[in-house]
Amino acid sequence: MHRNLPRQSNKPRRVRCKCKSHCTVLNPITGRYEGDGQLVSRGTRDNHTQDDKRLVINAPAAAPTPVANPGENLWSSRIHAELDTLKDLVIDLKVPLVFRNKPEDHGVFRWPTEVEIIIPNHGVHSLTQHRVNREFLFTENRICQLVVLLSDRYGQDDQAKALLDRLFSELGHLTRQKEVQWTMQRGSHGLGKPFVNTEIFIRSAGLRGQTPVMRVATVLSLVMECIYFVPRRAIRVLLGGFRSFLRVAGALPLVIESVPVDPRPGHSHFQLDPITRQFIVCTSCHFLYPFIPGNNPNNEESPFALTCDHQRTPESPVCRNPLWKSRDLGGGHTQLVPFRKYLHQVLKSWVGRLISRKGIEDLLDSPFAGNGPANPDNAPVDDILRSRIFQELTDASGQPFFPAPGKEGRLVFSLSVDGFNPFGNKTAKQTVSSTGIWLVLLNFPQHLRYLPENMYLAGVVPDKPSKEDIYPYVKLVVSELLEFWNDGVTFSRTFNEIYGRLFKAMLVPVVCDMPAARQVIGLGAATAHNFCTFCDLDIDDINVLDRAEWPEKDLTHIRHIAELWRDAPSEQHQTAIFDAYGIRWSPLHDLPYWNIVKYTIIDPMHALDLNNLQNHCRSVFQIDISVPGGDGLSEVSHQNQSIGKELLKAHEKCVQLIRRNDANLLDQLVVHPRSVLYKTCVDNDILAPNHALVVGIKWVLAKNIVAWVRSSFFTLLIHQMLKFSPFQRQQPEYNDVKLVPMSGNTGNHPITTGVEAGLSRVLQHLLNTENQDESREKAYSQGTAAIFVYICDLLEIEHGDIDKTKRNAKHVLYDRIIDLIDDDLLAFETLQQYLPDHSPSHNRPVLGKDVMTAIWSDMSRTKLPTWITPAPPNWGTAERGKLSADNWRVICTIHLPITLIRLWANDTPRKRDLLCHYMDLVAAVCIANMRVTTENQIQEYNKHMGRYVQNLSRLFPDQNLKPTHHAALHIGDMLGLFGPNHSHSGPHYERYINFFHRINTNSKLGELESTFLRASARNANLRALLSEQGDLQQSLRELTVVMNSIESEDIRGFRLASILDPYSPTFTSRSGMEDLPLSNMQKTLLSEVLNLDADHMPRSATFLKEISSRGVCYGTSGSSTHRNSSIIFKEVNQASESYKAGIVDQIFRYSYPAPSGLPNEAIFFYLQELAPIDSQLDPYRQFGPFGGFLCKKTDSRIKIISISQLVSHFTLTEMAGGSYGSYDGLIHVMPVDRVSSFLCILLLSLH
């Protein structure tokens, strides 16, 4: 029986502890710990022993610097060194402090008095002995000990006073941490406003307890893992090699053992992981369930549903899709795990980390200091910060959003959503997909805005949710943005504000490709009837190019319909609403200020580069290297379509409804097909106010019908007024396309889409002289009035007196044409120019074998600056496959103009028309991509793009206008609202996707998405840490130097170039630097530039291989940097300012005496100035800055210019002979600009 009794211990319950950390006191003079110790429990003693070990680890790695009077300063140096190890963060944001008293029951935090603050763990806010409090209690106790010691023994000493000030400051930091924890655990921050503890980011624990060797090894492993994505196994080998290096170098075993064996502990040491929330995702309806690891259906303490219980609408069935699956653990054991999880980064914590970094607040506030982002009327706009949209922003009270009152911070974000193949396959047809959600903080300057450490990645969604399935993920972001909007979010501390700061924020533009943008904002596909996000033009009206006829969207109507869809009782009701209006509810509507019309960006990268440029090459020109290049003409037959019985019945019902004129007539009409409403409007001449054409989506037409019915004085007799003609397919004889001759003169006639199909055939019959009568009869029978109107315009025949709606119009037009071509040989020859060059079976592809061979040949002789990524030399072939947006832009704006102008500028009228038409597109794209926007540039863009779209169907009969063509017509509106496209274009998330593809994952769908988020956050946080922590930079000086040299390498790509800092200082590389004497010619030329006496100038100069100016590298022609030696420079004299092209031979830095007698230093370029040929003989000049110009290869002049005269690079092409004149001995110059704001304006003055 006695065996079951607990054994009695003879050991005393309390023991005497003489630990250094708690129970004894350090004497700074002797360096010894004094005192008899204290009686404590055995558990407490064990904790104190652990604290002593921690004290040893935190001890300074090196002895203090010797001083002149050790008796006075040694103790001070030791205490300062100890404080350096104690000052870091001693709490964990994820594991809060444990108070003795419940914060919610004991009111607001009361700051201790000067007497109370030096009593450790005292008062109502004292902590328990829980293990999570150990770091805090240890640090607080130690600092209090030092305060008491210094106050008692050295209170009158100046050094002691300085130390006491520092000690009280550290106690204040500890108390502030405790106050924040107490306030957060009260749950409301007193006033119910969102509150974020940022102490974890301000006082990082990353360096605590690490020796210098351990610190360097840890950071090196993190850099290799998080920045260069070296596999973890390889990093373990690297760390093993690091240990071997230390061992053979004679390092102490303790130092060698301090080197980590794995990089993963470094993540927590330096707080690199993001603050996230985890969710279980229903794989059927994408409903999100908050998830805490450990929760599962088998856990009685934290039970979780086995299946999804979400209902899409009140009348929808419960989803009941399984949320869990069984995972085999081996040995007959299994475990329930979620089918799919989603990791969401908390926006408030991301902002808190951001504003805890040095200098960030100054950057975020600086654009809006003083009077905010206001910009003078018609002044150039260089960024979205000074755009019209930013000037119009208001806060919840209706006051301007910028500038912020007092110390309040104001932030503006853009949203991007994009699907991508997580495995990085280059094929266009993806079988797997993930979706990224990003916010870009627009307060940042352009060159910092898209850096990884400054972009917010909300999460990566497994799969590509369809339709409204994306909304739960977007809603997570919107819910946090609402907190920033309503009351703002208070951060406990920022880098500049020790006692915290309030921030408010808005989401303005949505920057996505067209399908993603429409999905996020709640619209249908881009090919739906309401295909445009900016106006209410129907896709059936896409050929209407008169902007005055485009109906404006009604923001109130859109929000109303979206609310109806959201509140619909069943999915059938939702479908009916969407079919009628094409609108769904989007979480973005929860933001009361959000404007779906203005804030939905038409992305220039996708609309222009990936659509119109690529479309023009692949679909309009067409590429076929198996045949010679053709003229692009083809015959298209338009077949009549039969009208179904359902449509006829719908039309009859529509007429009956109009005659009944019920109160809900509008809702009754919108359910009818658009063609029915369109015909009703046409039959009865029902037009919107100030409109001359029947245009618009169903809702617009139905609204016009209702307004017409109810505004009539004869409403009671409406059935007598209503016209009802038989429903027939509308013939395309009088369309709304206005054909514009390539000269740019606009015709004033409506013309059919049948013109393109029949024009070639009609012209052949008209001009056939063998069987003239028979051929002309065929021309008349196969032609239409619209075709003859167009031929009259070609021959400048007046036809304004002819009523085109009458039956005899066709005959009258035909007679006038025959009369002229019979009497005027020039008219006959003019029409012959519009005939195909070959037989009727001419080749359709324009970019045939001969043209593509010429393009590839010119590409091989074109020298591009290193910042432009060369296009694949075999582009256009099946072997090359898919090209990037940057590839298409380089091909279409550089290589094609060089070759096509050479081939076609003096070719047939048809080829010249094709060239002019294509160069309109090139001009529009170049203008849209300028770094600065002005009203004149917007007008130029609209002119070129409008002319390009108007002439597309005329020149290429088989081409119909696409939604991307209409979208391109709205890009001028985007430039006017948001400024230059670099601030609202999509390359940033495309680059981020490329970044994802470099990350090491386990390749398991549903898991790799979380890896993407964690790895990208670690990468961003580590980059920020390395750039801002002075102590860390000092320890890792050589490592950061190498990293910076890699980061500063010339970035390639047009899109990457657009984010360079144009204000970065001039940088010279020490590689290739050599001191040499100037030649006599160089000295003479330099004396002319400096206006100095050559005889009294120093002869020596430092010659450089390359130089970086404003973020752009320039090199010399005889070195490895020769691709960067082709430059455009500015030449200024008293009379004018002109721009020249030159090849840099040498770059040198020269010191010379200034007029004041003081030494001066500058950088100069010794170059060959290229002589342009006569502009009248240069076919490239007619296209202005977008075609470049020709220079003589031999007639060069030696010059010296200063670095201030640099403008840009140019691409250099050594020209080959052509069919219409020799280009031998000539060089083509195509200016390309990386950072200049007004390149197009500058180039207009080239001569």
Give the residue-averaged pLDDT of 1154-1181.
87
How confident is the model at residue 1164, as a pLDDT? 93
Residue 955: its H or E element: helix 935-955
Residue 774 has pLDDT above 90, yes or no: no
AA letter at 181: Q
| 861 burial level (CB within 10 Å; 0-12, 13-18, 19+) | middle
The answer to whether 544 and 695 have CB atoms below 8 angstroms apart is yes
Residue among 1240, 1175, 1167, 1180 at smallest CA distance from 1206: 1167
How many whole angstroms separate alpha carbon 727 and alpha carbon 655? 12
Q: In whole numbers, what is the pLDDT of the chain averaged over residues? A: 81
Mean pLDDT computed over 1146-1172 = 87
Q: Give the Cα separation of 93 and 200 in Å (integer).
A: 6
pLDDT in tens, 434-448: 999 999 999 998 888
pLDDT band (50, 70, 90) for residue 145: confident
Share of the chain above pLDDT 70, in %: 82
pLDDT at 1056: 44
Range 566-574 average pLDDT: 93
| Confidence band, pLDDT 50/70/90 cuts, at residue 719 | low
Rounded to 5 degrees, φ, ψ at 1140 are -125, 165
Token pair belonging to 1161: 């230093």
What stretch of H or E contains 373?
A: none
Distance of CA 558 to the CA centre of its chain: 27
Contacts (Cβ under 8 Å, ≥6 apart) of 931: 382, 980, 982, 1058, 1062, 1235, 1236, 1237
Give percent of the chain above pLDDT 90: 33
- Asked if residue 244 has pLDDT above 80, the reply is yes
d(CA 1231, CA 1242): 10
Q: Coil, strand or helix: which one is 964?
A: helix
pLDDT bucket at 19, cuts 50 / 70 / 90: confident
Q: What is the DSSP letter of 522?
A: T
The pLDDT value recorded for residue 1238 is 43
Strands (E), 465-607: 489-491, 501-510
Residue 477 backbone dihedrals phi, psi, to 5 degrees: -70, -45
pLDDT at 74: 66
Q: How confident is the model at residue 200 (pLDDT cuts 50, 70, 90)?
A: confident
Question: What is the arithmetic mean of pLDDT over 300-312?
Answer: 82
Residue 747's pLDDT band (cuts 50, 70, 90): very low
Lowest mean pLDDT among 215-219, 811-815, 818-822: 818-822
Mean pLDDT throughout 511-531? 88
Q: What letter would DSSP give residue 610?
A: I
Classify each residue of 579-601 as buried b or exposed e, where b means 16 or more C-beta atoms within 10 Å of its C-beta: ebbbbbbbbbbebeebbbebbbb
* Model pLDDT, residue 103: 87
pLDDT of residue 563: 94
Is it the case that residue 1172 has pLDDT exceeding 80?
yes
pLDDT of residue 1235: 54
Q: Output the pLDDT for position 716.
A: 45
- Average pLDDT for 704-711: 88
- CA–CA dist 918, 897 (Å, integer): 9
Pairing mode, strands 195-196 and 489-491: parallel
Give kind and range of the element (H or E) at residue 89: none
Confidence (pLDDT) at 755: 54
**Looking at per-residue confidence, does 128 or 1069 come out higher?**
128
- Mean pLDDT check: name the lowest of 81-95, 332-346, 548-562: 81-95
Mean pLDDT of all residues in 1177-1201: 89
DSSP structural state of residue 200: H
**Within 13 Å and on the Cβ side, how many CA atoms surround 1106?**
20
Confidence of residue 1071 (pLDDT cuts 50, 70, 90): low
Asked whether the beta carbons of 340 and 460 are under 8 A apart, the reply is no
Distance CA 1160, CA 377 (A): 41
pLDDT-derived band at 1158 (thresholds 50, 70, 90) equals confident
- Residue 1224, classified by CB atoms within 10 Å of its CB into exposed (0-12), middle (13-18) or buried (19+), is exposed
Most confident of the ranges 34-38, 275-279, 1116-1120? 275-279
Lowest mean pLDDT among 443-452, 896-905, 1235-1244: 1235-1244
pLDDT band for 942, please (50, 70, 90 cuts): very high
Give phi and psi for 1221, each to the nearest 5: 130, 150
pLDDT band at 1242 (very low <50, low <70, confident <90, very high): very low
| pLDDT confidence of residue 718 | 55
* C-alpha closest to that of 1052 among 781, 871, 917, 835: 871
Inform me whether the pLDDT recorded for 83 exceeds 80.
Answer: no
Q: Check whether 1122 has a pLDDT greater than 60.
A: yes
* Burial class of 704 by CB neighbour count within 10 A (0 to 12, 13 to 18, 19+): buried
- Residue 415, classed as helix, strand or coil, is strand
pLDDT interval class at 1045 (50, 70, 90): confident
Q: Region 12-24: what's the mean pLDDT?
A: 78
Instruction: State in Å, rounded, how far the first CA of the chain is from the last one.
Output: 114
Contact, 239 vs 224, CB < 8 A?
no
Number of Cβ atoms within 10 Å of the Cβ of 374? 14
Q: What are the residue boundaries of the structural domains of the chain, listed by start?
A: 58-186, 196-272, 276-342, 532-600, 604-633+846-983, 645-721, 754-832, 1067-1243
Q: For residue range 851-860, what is the model confidence (pLDDT) as tens digits?
A: 999 999 999 9
CA-nearest of 468, 457, 460 to 433 is 460
Residue environment code for 976-1003, b if the CB has 16+ CB neighbours within 10 A, otherwise e: bbbbbbbbbbbbbbbbbbebbeebebee
